[in-house]
């Protein structure tokens, strides 16, 4: 960080700042300019409390240089992290191949899940999504099949080899969900549930972390940092749209987040065009755009009968639409040096 002194700050005030910096275990390097003096702080100040310096006499502002997150940042690792999904198909998020995770919003029943699992596998998916615990806005809406849903997901994995990606909503569900799933999804509404982030960080299954609907990229990366700081480095960042004033879509899919997250972090980035638009006719174009923007993976809602889906039918695509979309992104991928 750099401590910028006010114009006319006294020699004593500058020396006081230098002393405080040294007391923090860091090195001070005052630079006297014609208008003002700044005190450059040398050393890793990421975990020091900057705000204390901000209120010291003679200080104008404190400018941060290092990112506030560390393990998630490019400062500690330059290349891209590849996260293995598990499952028999060997899917990896963060390699040359764009990993496709697809399936219903919620696990509803055995026929629905198995039909869709086989269909997405045939079309080239490596992961199967499906919520057994659903975060619903309305308490009277379908809440998911809970453990029964997890059993069905495990059965679908046994039949297809697809890696199971499913949401965990609470600390007390982590052990149960981790027993069945290959990847734990932390939903947008829980992105800053710090106890949950710590709990998924303390187990070994990879985590798909959704961006909160009003979270900045810094808050998103700090949420990833929680998980990583507890020992789990297999974190995938998922852009799923943010809430804006725009109402032609359910959420505004912020695709510029994909290259920006790659710029800031080594963690792989997955795009969810389903929550990200809320409309099934927009999903195909957003899948193509996400691949063109260098997404490492896509997570897509697919249903065998969207009109009768218990959750998110309006944004779910059919088996045929999914197969067509896979062909479309296979044409886009080589243009950005990727494969599907
Ligand atoms: C979902 O994937 O169905 C879901 C609820 O996602 P999000 O947390 O991004 O809203
Ligand atoms: Mn959904």
Residue ranges of domains in the chain, CATH in brackets: 2-63 (3.30.70.1140), 83-336 (3.20.20.70)
pLDDT value at residue 50:
80
Q: 3-state DSSP helix/strand/coil percent for the chain, to nearest 5?
A: 35, 20, 45
User: Does 21 have pLDDT greater than 90?
Assistant: yes
Closest Cα to atom 6, ligand 1: which residue?
187
Q: Which of 130, 185, 187, 283 to mutate to test the pocket of ligand 1 (most atoms within 8 A of CB)?
A: 187
Per-residue pLDDT tens digits for 26-63 = 999 999 988 899 999 988 887 788 888 999 999 999 99
**For the CA atoms of 172, 174, 180, 186, what is the dihedral angle to 10 degrees?**
120
CA dihedral sign, ordered 162, 110, 131, 197: negative
Instruction: Specify whether the CB–CB gap between 133 and 187 falls below 8 A.
Output: no
From CA 301, how far away is CA 318, in angstroms rounded? 9
Q: Any idea which ligand is nearest the CA of 135? A: 1
169 CA to middle of ligand 1, Å?
Answer: 11
105 CA to middle of ligand 2, Å?
Answer: 4
Ligand 1 atom showing the smallest separation from residue 311 Cα: 3
61-69 contacts: CB < 8 A, separation 24 or more?
61/4, 62/1, 62/2, 62/3, 62/4, 63/1, 63/2, 63/4, 64/1, 65/1, 65/2, 66/1, 67/218, 67/221, 67/264, 68/218, 68/222, 69/218, 69/221, 69/222, 69/224, 69/225
Q: Indicate the pTM of the whole model.
A: 0.92
Closest Cα to atom 10, ligand 1: which residue?
188
Cβ < 6 A, ligand 1 pocket = 105, 131, 135, 187-189, 210, 240, 272, 275
From CA 62, how far away is CA 53, in angstroms rounded? 7
Q: Any idea which ligand is nearest the CA of 101? A: 1
Per-residue pLDDT tens digits for 312-340 = 999 999 999 999 999 999 999 999 999 99
Q: What is the CA radius of gyration of the chain?
A: 23
User: Does 260 have pLDDT greater than 90?
Assistant: yes
Q: Any idea which ligand is nearest the CA of 166? A: 1
152 CA to middle of ligand 1, Å?
Answer: 19
The two three-digit tokens of residue 132, written as one number = 């057994």
Closest Cα to atom 9, ligand 1: which residue?
188
User: Does 258 have pLDDT greater than 90?
Assistant: yes
Mean per-residue pLDDT for 158-183? 98
Closest Cα to atom 3, ligand 1: which residue?
105
How many residues are there in the chain? Answer: 340
Mean per-residue pLDDT for 220-238? 98
Mean per-residue pLDDT for 120-129? 98
């Amino acid at each position: 960080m750099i401590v910028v002194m006010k114009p006319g700050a006294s020699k004593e005030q500058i020396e006081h700042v230098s002393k405080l910096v040294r007391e923090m275990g860091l090195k001070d390097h005052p630079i006297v300019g014609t208008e003002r003096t700044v005190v450059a702080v040398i050393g890793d100040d990421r975990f020091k409390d900057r705000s204390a310096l901000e209120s010291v006499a003679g200080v104008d502002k404190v400018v941060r240089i290092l990112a506030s997150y560390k393990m998630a940042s490019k400062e500690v690792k330059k290349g891209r992290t590849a996260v293995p999904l598990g499952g028999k198909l060997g899917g990896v998020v963060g390699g040359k191949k764009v990993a496709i995770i697809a399936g219903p919003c919620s696990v509803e029943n055995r026929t629905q899940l198995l039909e869709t699992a086989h269909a997405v596998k045939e079309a080239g998916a490596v992961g199967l999504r499906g919520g057994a615990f659903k975060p619903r806005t309305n308490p009277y809406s379908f809440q998911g099949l809970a453990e029964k849903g997890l059993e069905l997901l495990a059965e679908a994995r046994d039949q297809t080899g697809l890696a199971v990606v499913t949401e965990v909503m609470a600390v007390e569900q982590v052990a149960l969900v981790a027993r069945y799933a290959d990847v734990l999804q932390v939903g947008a509404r829980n992105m800053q549930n710090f106890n949950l982030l710590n709990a998924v960080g303390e187990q070994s299954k990879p985590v798909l972390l959704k961006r909160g609907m009003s979270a900045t990229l810094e808050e998103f990366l700090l949420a990833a940092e929680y998980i990583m700081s507890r020992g789990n480095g297999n974190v995938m960042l998922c852009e799923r749209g943010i809430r804006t004033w725009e109402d032609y879509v359910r959420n505004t899919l912020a695709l510029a987040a994909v290259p920006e997250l790659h710029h800031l972090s080594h963690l792989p980035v997955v795009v969810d065009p389903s929550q990200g638009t809320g409309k099934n006719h927009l999903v195909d174009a957003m899948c193509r755009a996400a691949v063109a923007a260098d997404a490492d993976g896509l997570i897509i809602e697919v249903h065998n009968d969207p009109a009768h889906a218990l959750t998110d039918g309006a944004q779910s695509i059919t088996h045929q639409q999914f197969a067509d979309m896979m062909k479309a992104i296979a044409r886009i991928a080589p243009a950005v040096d990727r494969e599907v």
